[in-house]
Homo-oligomer: A and B are copies of this chain.
Amino acid sequence: MSRSGADLALLLLGGFRSLVDAAQEELGRRGYEDVRPVHDFAIRAIAAGADSASELSRRTAVTKQAAAQTISVLQDRGYVVRQADPGDARRKRLHVTDRGFDLLREGEAIFDELREQWARRIGIERLQQLEAQLSELVGSAAVRVDAPGWVATQDFGPSAAVETTTRSGA
């Protein structure tokens, strides 16, 4: 089975989706019905130091505008707040709220549980092998936790990025 390269891709996607779908469902049961993986990852990135829209956009490889939109959703739903930056009047600093941190914790716990289920099914050694092989292939650069845009751009189209605004050049 799965000798074709396309099958390999599908397997990887299948694995990802089955984890993420299960996680999202469970998250819904635990009272976070309004979140998607992107949100989780974006909050994580903000907590990890991407505390402005521009910075978030850089780290996540989407346009500033896209980042701003995500932030505005997160703010509406109570996961982050925006505060004026005392040192730079242009910036608005992002802070993850308690609810935001709660979400991150729940998310981690759920993913860990799912991983344990997998470990029980194929054995922890084999799962670790799988992880080791994948991380060798994918490289750690791609595994940055703070990469929401990368998680789900429009139908996997080419990911644009990098300061689109002041481009104009031509």
Contact = CB atoms under 8 A, between A and B. Distances in A.
Interface of A: 1-2, 4-21, 23-25, 36-38, 107-108, 110-116, 118, 121-122, 126-127, 129-140, 142-143, 145, 147, 150-152, 155-158
Nearest to A6: B111
B5 A114 contact: yes
Nearest to A1: B135
Closest 8 CB pairs of A and B: A5-B111, A5-B115, A12-B16, A14-B138, A14-B142, A12-B15, A6-B111, A5-B112
Nearest to A19: B9
- The winner among A129, A130, A131 for most chain B CB atoms within 10 A is A130
Contacts of A7: 131, 143, 145
A63 to B, nearest CB: 16
A112 B6 CA distance: 7
Contacts of A147: 10
A121 B115 CA distance: 26
Nearest to A23: B9
A143 to B, nearest CB: 5
A152 B16 CA distance: 12
Given A2-B135, A11-B138, 8 more contacts: A5-B108, A5-B115, A6-B112, A12-B16, A14-B134, A15-B134, A38-B155, A130-B130
- The winner among A6, A9, A121, A129 for most chain B CB atoms within 10 A is A6
Contacts of A135: 1-2, 11
